[in-house]
Amino acid sequence: MINIINSLCLYIQYLENNIKVLLQLVSQYVPLRQMAYDEIHSPKYQKFKTDRLPVIMKFEKQDYEFLLAYYLWKDKKPFKPVNRRNGRSIPEDIVCRLRLAKNN
By C-alpha distance, which of 35, 56, 38, 34 is closest to 46? 38
Q: For residue range 7-48, list pLDDT tens digits in order.
A: 999 999 999 999 999 988 888 877 666 555 555 666 666 666
Q: What is the pLDDT of residues 39-93, one digit of tens each?
A: 566 666 666 667 788 888 888 887 888 888 888 999 888 888 777 777 777 777 8
In terms of Cα–Cα distance, which of 72, 91, 88, 90 is closest to 80? 72
pLDDT at 19: 95
pTM score, whole prediction: 0.31
User: What residue segments make up the domains of the chain, in order of their start?
Assistant: 1-81
pLDDT at 48: 65
Angstrom CA distances, 15 to 2, 8, 19, 66, 85, stand at 20, 11, 6, 75, 77
